[in-house]
Structure 1
């Protein structure tokens, strides 16, 4: 059930982002920390790419404020047991490390291999404190428990993969922030339905920060989130999926985070496969992403972003229905209608 502290976290995070983003922008302009146009980039003028600092600050301030006023809370309204606390701290501190890795890349530039190594170490430490995937759904075998250390590589691939998946879709104004915000709201609702209010609290704070950032990041953007913001949101979404959803020992629960985040997952998977089929490195940037293909098909910047929003909302509503939520089917039908309308608009435009 939604509690006042969930709303407080969402609102406080959004307010902090709204206040701090212009400050971060001024600092970035004065220090020359800007992303120059050219190449595969679609912006036409230098843009500050440190907006992730605001998203991180908003989420962290919201979480610390709620925790300082009431501490960790479980479904019964009592303090969490130590194991659950370790999981929440694993997501929070792991998010900090991923943010710092991205920030270092924004400021100084890091090689793809060095980023991947640091992210893998951070994800491994998160696994150590309980942010671990214990079950997988395998076709023809059903729900399978991962024994011992086998959980480690699966968890690391999930956490690191999602951090990079969100970073990879951060190619248009407002795209990564909007997709992450929608996914966080869906995770908030599903976590509450599954009696995981602590995980829902993290999702609420992240949703407020991501959606608040759209005030300055939606087309035409005034600032970019940079790798720091993308890595932070991707890891946090993946972490919430693990501690809030995958911990449920049912096939539906295990599949939910993959369904909610299906858009960035499928986009990243398709791009990697296409690059490898042509003998290219998976880390070489190109214009094979979904948003690039929609732009190449002649759709406008804003329509492309809104269409991918609708797609994200659609898979999120399917997750609500799949979770067994009574009203989930209603949301699924509504989002299907929205996606159908945007698809119809796209076909008319293509003609």
Structure 2
């Protein structure tokens, strides 16, 4: 079977499972009472089931296992096989942490400790950042710093995706776009195993948008966000950071720049005000766009366009054929959406001043 067909199977199978299972999960959530109630910090105005991550997890995992059974991972040398298992088992662990939080409301400290332990376990299985790109100095081997750097990356991205999950369709859409870009780049970099996981995650994330885009019918919850964030970060490690090309090492950070920068800005803002970086507030980008008067849909589409733009830059830097052409197209799209945002915010300001 051609290698590309395995990736298509993973994408379509994951999407199909998510499209079928999400209404089932929603029904079970409503009957069991596992809902997210509105409050002053949250945007939704009616109770919502927040177990949609179960569908994303099941769809992605079953797609990966199906492709594995069909022989899509055949021929992996032993270290690579352990890396793939590290991504899969780590994703399962992070999903279970998030699901436990959705069901039983864990403390931030307990979540962080468990995430750190399982991220370290993934590092032990080969999901390791061995190189960093230093400006004007090229690649630098991380040596003994590999463990803390990898743990910070994996745990940080899991929480970054969870933190942007504050508007209908935002986390699922950003993750889906990032997964598609990572799929293309890892295929071009001849990392088919990492690409298979990216394909399955892309199908699950984009399939979930059918029920999660505004007006949302269900939320993914912490289980889905932690799972997607960890998996994206881990795929970036085994598919790109493992290589010894300077540009390849930079790509995962560029592809995931939007949630990374949003989290960094929020932490800095909270610390500068003397607040705990873990205490939720309304300082995220999507909150600021909504406070400016923009609709949920326009705010989300603008952040989608930002994510697609940085992803297109990654395609260009990868030297993928026509990569810079895609970057130009994404720049034009971002410019148009940005103009719409500016026009709407200006109109709203004029209405408020009257």
- TM-score range, shorter-chain basis? over 0.9
Match of 2:276 in 1: 281
Q: Does 1:154 align with 2:155?
A: no
Note if contact 2:14-2:200 (Cα within 8 Å) is conserved in structure 1.
yes
* 2:193 partner SS: helix
- Count how many residue pairs are aligned between Structure 1 and Structure 2: 345
* 1:156 partner SS: helix
Query: Which of 116, 122, 127 is the equivalent residue of 1:120?
Result: 116
Residue segments in structure 1 that go unaligned for 5+ positions in a row: 74-78
Q: Distance in 1 between matches of 2:268 and 2:325?
A: 35
Cα-to-partner distance string for 1:234-271 (whole Å, 9 max, x where unaligned): 00000000000111112101100000000000000000
Match of 2:351 in 1: none
1:1-351 paired onto structure 2 within 5 Å: 3-73=4-74, 79-147=75-143, 149-351=144-346
Note if contact 1:287-1:293 (Cα within 8 Å) is conserved in structure 2.
yes
Q: Distance in 2 between matches of 1:194 and 1:22?
A: 37
Change in CA separation of 1:71 and 1:323 when aligned onto 2, cut-off 3 Å: closer
Match of 2:349 in 1: none
Deviation at 1:325, TM superposition (A): 1.0
Kindly report structure 1 stretches of 4+ aligned residues shifted beyond 6 Å: none
* 1:83 partner SS: helix
Residue segments in structure 2 that go unaligned for 5+ positions in a row: 347-354
Q: Distance in 1 between matches of 2:150 and 2:303?
A: 27
Q: Distance in 2 between matches of 1:180 and 1:65?
A: 22
Cα-to-partner distance string for 1:182-212 (whole Å, 9 max, x where unaligned): 0000000000000000000000000000000
Deviation at 1:71, TM superposition (A): 4.7
Q: Distance in 2 between matches of 1:49 and 1:320?
A: 34
Q: Distance in 2 between matches of 1:233 and 1:328?
A: 25
Note if contact 1:2-1:192 (Cα within 8 Å) is conserved in structure 2.
no
Note if contact 2:174-2:307 (Cα within 8 Å) is conserved in structure 1.
yes
Q: TM-score scaled to structure 1, two decimals?
A: 0.97
Aligned CA RMSD, in angstroms, stands at 0.9
